[in-house]
Chain A
Amino acid sequence: MSDKKTKYKEVAYYPGCALEGSGHAYNRSTKALGKALGLKLKEVENWNCCGAMEVKNIDPKLQTYLSSRVMSIAANKMKMDVVMAPCNGCYHNLKKTEYELSHDEKSREVVDRLSQKAGHETYQAGQVETIHALDWIKDTIGEDGLRQRVKNSLKGIKIANYYGCMYTRPRHIFPEKDQGPGSESTSKPHFMDDLLEAAGAENVDFPLKTACCGGAHTLSDSDTSTRLVANILQAAEAAGAEVIATECPTCHSGLEMHQIRAEKTLGLKTSVKIIYFTQLLGMAMGLKPKAVGLHENVSDSFAFVKQKGLA
């Protein structure tokens, strides 16, 4: 049994704000999938926002502190050594914080000062390892494990895997990636492709898998977001995909909402379904669509999954 396989079997779970709101289907499906696979999640106690983009853009060091607090609770209070964050924004910010605390004295000083003020132990770089939900499934269960557990194969479903722009960027905060066989690639990520293929899906060659979806423009410049998403949806359909698999709540919500908006404002109708990879894997493991929160998605995929024998 590999180190990671043992180490990741029980992890501190940091859902983040989005998974309590617009991305609740991702929250539900992540928990349900973990349970179905025999993996344990211990939610980080009294967690806070990672600082996301809003705080980071006003005061980057405050974002570093906020993310460090989450890791401090996991490490010092819960005595956990792995934090799993399914949201790309949270995952990115925790990794960025880890990097900054390892390389920047000023960040260490600010985090220490604010931690003392807040009355909790200061997080020290290296106390926990932050992983994504993709790492969690890939390194504990893996492709072979999934193949053995498949109850409803995803066979016949053509999928474009969409990772978004924060899962692999900037490369220097993800030192474990690009390390050869078995590691994730920052230029052509493949973990989601690998897992869904193991569950029977047919992945299509999708050139925009790490392209920007305009997620952060959604409120300030909706038209730009709609055009970016419309282009992603068209590219997925041109690649032959019936489904875009997602692993980020911001990307997922953006794709769903702007799919509707693109039809209204651009007259562009696309029929590709947008489904979290945890929902697809969960249904492949035999879970019912409602158990993985399919009813919580904005877009309606029930008829599609029924047609594909997943419901």
Chain B
Amino acid sequence: MSAASGLSMAAIGQRLEALVAAPAAAADADELLRLGEEALEHWIRAKGKEPTREEREGFRLLALHRQGADKDPSFNACRETCRELAYHYNLLGQQPDHPDTAQRARMMALVANHLYLFISGKMESQQLGEFCCSSRPVRERVDSGTQAQ
């Protein structure tokens, strides 16, 4: 579906910021999907794995999300964001002349941006926390013997 271009996370963010700010067009759909995939690739590589080349339901994006959430269920908080990205990609691809195309393209850009923001936030805090709270060091310091369990 798309090939990685090797953008850094910061570069992905900058490009998405530009796409969100610009007048949206159906032609952006391929790039938005690719940027979403690349953000997921960064997450997977940060976890020490090689990003899959497989697809799920016709989308590498969904296969990458699944790989990214493996043994990390909190990553499923972006599952629906990924599915919305795929949904908007389909909308734009299958109905390019629809009167709502510009609106749909803008929404796809915002959805892609949300996926990026979620992943970059998680990556930024990865050394501090697994997800919601910055607690990993605390948890690691608390030896299992001192816990209620």
Q: B-contacting residues of A (Cβ < 8 Å)?
A: 53-54, 56-62, 65, 106, 110, 114, 165, 169-170, 187-188, 207-212, 214-217, 220-221, 224, 227-228, 231-232, 234-235, 238-239
A57 B138 Cβ-Cβ under 8 A: yes
Residue of B80, B125, B149 near A221 (CB, 8 A) is B125
Known contacts being A65-B148, A211-B118, is A58 close to B77, with CB within 8 Å?
A: no
Rounded to whole angstroms, the CA-CA distance of A232 and B133 in the bound complex is 21
Cross-chain contact of A208 among B81, B125, B138 (Cβ < 8 A)? B81
Are A232 and B121 in contact, CB atoms less than 8 angstroms apart?
no
* Segment among B27-35, B40-48, B59-67, B102-110 that sits at the interface with chain A: B102-110
Of all chain B residues, which has the CB nearest A224? B121
Other A-B contacts than A188-B80, A208-B81, A227-B121, 9 sampled, CB-CB below 8 A, are: A54-B133, A54-B135, A58-B139, A59-B149, A62-B148, A65-B148, A207-B110, A224-B121, A239-B107
Q: CA–CA, A208 to B109, complex, Å?
A: 12
Q: Decide yes or no whether B78 CB sits under 8 A from chain A.
A: yes
* B114 lies within 8 A of A208 (CB): yes
Q: Which of B77-114 contact A (CB under 8 A)?
A: 77-81, 83-84, 87-88, 103, 106-107, 110-111, 113-114
Q: Are A169 and B147 in contact (CB under 8 A)?
A: no
Could you tell me if B125 and A217 are in contact, using CB atoms closer than 8 angstroms? Answer: yes
Q: In the bound complex, how far is the Cα of B149 from the Cα of A283, in angstroms?
A: 47
Q: Which residues of A contact B80 (CB under 8 A)?
A: 187-188, 209-211
Do B135 and A57 touch (CB < 8 A)?
Answer: yes
When distances are taken between beta carbons in the complex, the residues of chain A under 8 Å from B130 are 57
- B111–A228 touching, CB < 8 Å: no
B86–chain A nearest beta-carbon distance, Å: 11
Q: At the interface, yes or no: B7 with Cβ under 8 Å from chain A?
A: no
Q: Given the known inter-chain contacts A57-B138, A57-B139, A232-B114, please indicate yes or no for A216 contacting B148, CB distance below 8 A.
A: no
* Cβ B76 vs Cβ A170 within 8 A: yes
User: Is B120 among interface residues, defined by CB-CB distance under 8 A?
Assistant: yes
Determine whether the beta carbon of A61 is less than 8 Å from that of B132: no
Contacts of A216 in B (CB 8 A): 131-133
The 23 listed contacts between A and B (C-beta, < 8 Å) are A57-B130, A59-B142, A60-B149, A61-B147, A62-B147, A65-B148, A207-B81, A208-B81, A212-B77, A212-B78, A212-B114, A216-B131, A216-B133, A217-B125, A220-B125, A220-B133, A221-B121, A224-B120, A227-B121, A228-B118, A228-B121, A235-B114, A238-B110
Q: Assess the B148–A61 pair: CB atoms within 8 A.
A: yes
Q: A169-B76, A227-B117, A238-B107 are in contact. Are A106 and B88 (CB under 8 A)?
A: no
B124 at the interface (CB under 8 A from A): yes
- Contacts A114-B148, A169-B77, A220-B134; is A207 near B84 (CB within 8 Å)? yes
Chain B hits for A169, CB < 8 A: 76-77
Indicate if the CB atoms of A59 and B135 lie closer than 8 Å. no
The CA of A26 and the CA of B130, in the complex, are separated in Å by 29
The 7 A-B residue pairs whose C-beta atoms are closest, nearest first, are: A57-B135, A216-B132, A224-B121, A207-B84, A61-B149, A165-B77, A57-B133
The distance in angstroms between the C-alpha atoms of A235 and B84, with both chains bound, is 13
